[in-house]
């Protein structure tokens, strides 16, 4: 139903995603309504389709961001046990999903958008600064953009007052990790950085080398065990080194 979910405005887009069952949780719908995709997509922002944002990167189709958000939701929302969820958005690109996740983590939560291309890190920050809500998120430290190799995850110092609950104090890991580019494998560093409990949402290339990609949900359970589930096929840009600058000949 994704092809029927485009709209003439942000409200139209979100309502069509909701009506077609691509957004099913009211909390996710509310977060999507708060973030105008026009601040993040270079053109036709309310089309349910991916778009190039330069540097061999894309902003994913809205329905894919909806799938990712709903898959990670219970690890993103604050709870009595953890009032300060920590979320890592690898391959944050335009910053759109980073902003949506920040609308869900509560006042004490933290969302880090990680890019391996400095220009895309800057793009995410600029896009978020287009709205008063985005500027407030950046100013508060609730959202931070960083440059690094997403295959290795990221170590981010806590916000002031973060991590006071039992089991989280001093833990700089992540309750939820979203990866917005296709990895060649389930990188162990990312699994190691999950808190208990925690979830990783990641597209991975097919191990048989046929060019297929699949979304995997990887859960670190309360007892520390790991559960992996292949969800559905996708098509993402690869999670690789930053492209090398072209030389003048």
Active-site amino acid positions: 60
- Give the number of other CB atoms < 10 A from CB of residue 249: 3
Nearest to 8 by CA among 28, 31, 37: 37
Nearest to 147 by CA among 118, 112, 123: 118
Q: Are 190 and 211 in contact (CB under 8 A)?
A: no
Other beta carbons within 10 Å of 107: 10
Length of the chain: 249
Q: Within 10 Å of residue 152's Cβ, how many Cβ atoms? A: 13
Q: Which residues of 155-191 are buried (b: 16+ CB within 10 A; e: fewer)?
A: ebebbeebbeeeebeeeebbbbbbbbbbbeebbeebb
| Radius of gyration over every alpha carbon of the chain, rounded to an integer in angstroms | 17
Please name which of 232, 247, 245 lies closest in space to residue 55, comparing C-alpha atoms: 245
Token pair recorded at residue 96: 């759109």
Residue written as token pair 């778009």: 51
């Amino acid at each position: 139903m994704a092809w029927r979910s485009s709209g003439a405005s942000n409200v139209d887009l979100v309502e069509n995603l909701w009506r077609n069952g691509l957004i099913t949780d009211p909390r996710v719908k509310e977060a999507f309504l708060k973030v105008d995709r026009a601040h993040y997509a270079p053109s036709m922002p309310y089309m349910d389709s991916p778009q190039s944002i330069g540097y061999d990167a894309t902003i994913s189709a809205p329905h894919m961001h909806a799938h990712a958000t709903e898959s990670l939701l219970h690890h993103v929302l604050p709870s009595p046990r953890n009032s300060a969820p920590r979320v890592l958005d690898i391959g944050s690109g335009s910053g759109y999903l980073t902003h949506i996740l920040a609308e869900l983590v509560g006042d004490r939560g933290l969302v880090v958008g990680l890019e391996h291309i400095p220009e895309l890190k800057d793009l995410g920050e600029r896009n978020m600064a287009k709205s008063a809500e985005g500027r407030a998120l950046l100013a508060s430290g609730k959202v931070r953009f960083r440059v690094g190799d997403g295959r290795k995850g990221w170590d981010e110092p806590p916000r002031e007052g973060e991590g006071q609950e039992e089991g989280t104090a001093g833990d700089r890991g992540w309750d939820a990790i979203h990866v917005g580019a296709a990895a060649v494998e389930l990188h162990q560093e990312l699994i190691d950085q999950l808190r208990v409990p925690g979830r990783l949402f990641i597209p991975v290339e097919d191990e048989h080398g046929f060019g297929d990609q699949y979304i995997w949900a990887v859960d670190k359970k309360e007892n520390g065990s790991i559960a992996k589930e292949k969800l559905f096929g996708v098509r993402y840009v690869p999670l690789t080194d930053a492209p090398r600058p072209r030389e003048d000949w």
